[in-house]
Amino acid sequence: MKRKLIGLLLCVAMTATMLAGCGSKGGDAPADAPAADTPAEAPAESGDDAEADAPAASGDVITIGFAQVGHESDWRTASTKSCQDVFSAENGYDLQFVDCDNDSAVQLEAVRGFIEQDVDYIIIDPIVSTGWDTVLTECEDAGIPVIVIDRTIDDSDKYVSWVGSNFKTEGLAAGEWLKAYAAEKGINEINALVIEGSTGASATIGRTEGFKEIADREGWTIVDSQSGDFTQDGGAEVMESYCKSYEGKFNVVVCQNDNEAFGAMDAMKQAGISYGVEGDVILISFDACTAGLEFVKSGDINADFECNPLAAPFVEEVIKTLASGGTPEKEVYMEEHWFVNEDILSTIEVNGETHNLTVVTDDIIAAQY
């Protein structure tokens, strides 16, 4: 697709978005948009049926630059694969992929490189939520639509669309589940250790805020909260020091992703501390990738709150909308599930809404990414 056409469509789309009153994150949704948090149904994957519909059906190869956070977790691997599968050469795309290795300076450089290359679209999964306005203005000036996935950008609205998860709801869900679970088990006192994700990432900020809100409301103690950088090594290192400093003083560990939970389990094992359904420490995780769910099924992790990494099909829908002159939704929330080991609670209330809890089975694990 030719750049000028994309630039024109972007201007039209952005103007329409502004006229519709949803130009900024957190602004009022247009009257016909789904409620802000309503999860969107997954679009059909690119394939034979979708081919006639694909933006590349005209024969032009569509060039996409993707500035990915890094390769820190199983979740990240699934996210990268989702983009590589959807934006493949056989689907008519030329995907320029940059693994930014969790370095914000590298990520800004990658985006500027995509502008230099004159790509048709840029996808960014922002390592941190701030520091984006200048480079997004450069993208806008170059007429290149930017689509943000997963983590959010807080200091600029110069992107066409964002596709991802509500991290604060994930944190609230973990807290509400813990409250209901503790009541079922007759546990009266909660002393929690939190292993946070990477500092400055909206996934960390949202999950921390959500869980803390419930902890404050319920009068729980958060004994300590430190970053494990969303990695297994980080989780192990933080948990090792927690075990030394707080032995006998905690009964809950909240890891903000599965890989940190794997590291935390290793460290607790080393320290002779039991965890999970049969143990002394309740272990909570986020992401619910395959390996995480295996540990939920075995009872090592008590509950795992999904973060859906499969954004690419939704991003392709955004591109199709732009290519046909339409206005994509500014925010697209993906569907997510909450997984547990024990069949003792079937639902929890979060933000006044009832959500199902899913007991993990082999079939569920087999179907997960």
Which is nearer to ligand AHR, 17 or 79 (by Cβ)? 79
**Closest approach of ligand AHR to the CB of residue 347, in Å:** 24
**Closest approach of ligand AHR to the CB of residue 350, in Å:** 18
**Closest approach of ligand AHR to the CB of residue 257, in Å:** 4
DSSP string, 105-161: HHHHHHHHHHHHHT-SEEEE--SSSSS-HHHHHHHHHTT--EEEESS--SS---SSE
**Closest approach of ligand AHR to the CB of residue 21, in Å:** 28
Helix, strand or coil, per DSSP, at residue 356:
strand
**Closest approach of ligand AHR to the CB of residue 146, in Å:** 17
Which is nearer to ligand AHR, 309 or 313 (by Cβ)? 309
Which is nearer to ligand AHR, 207 or 320 (by Cβ)? 207
Residues in touch with ligand AHR (CB under 6 A): 72-73, 75-76, 150-151, 201, 203, 230, 257, 286-287, 307
**Closest approach of ligand AHR to the CB of residue 231, in Å:** 8
* Residue 98 to residues 42, 157, 256, 319, 357, Cα–Cα distance (Å): 25, 23, 25, 20, 36
**Closest to 314 measured CA to CA, from 21, 9, 45, 2:** 45
Output the CA angle 74-46-17, nearest 5 degrees: 90
Q: How many CA atoms lie within 13 A of 15 on its CB side?
A: 7
Which is nearer to ligand AHR, 70 or 313 (by Cβ)? 70
Which is nearer to ligand AHR, 111 or 322 (by Cβ)? 111
325 φ, ψ (degrees, to nearest 5): 85, 10
155 and 320 Cβ atoms separated by less than 8 Å: no
Which is nearer to ligand AHR, 220 or 262 (by Cβ)? 262
Which is nearer to ligand AHR, 160 or 288 (by Cβ)? 288
**Closest approach of ligand AHR to the CB of residue 326, in Å:** 28
197 and 171 Cβ atoms separated by less than 8 Å: no
State how far the Cα of 252 lies from the Cα of 222, in Å rounded to an integer. Answer: 9
Which is nearer to ligand AHR, 12 or 42 (by Cβ)? 42
Output the CA angle 204-205-209, nearest 5 degrees: 115
Q: How many CA atoms lie within 13 A of 242 on its CB side?
A: 36
Output the CA angle 206-300-305, nearest 5 degrees: 25
**Closest approach of ligand AHR to the CB of residue 256, in Å:** 7
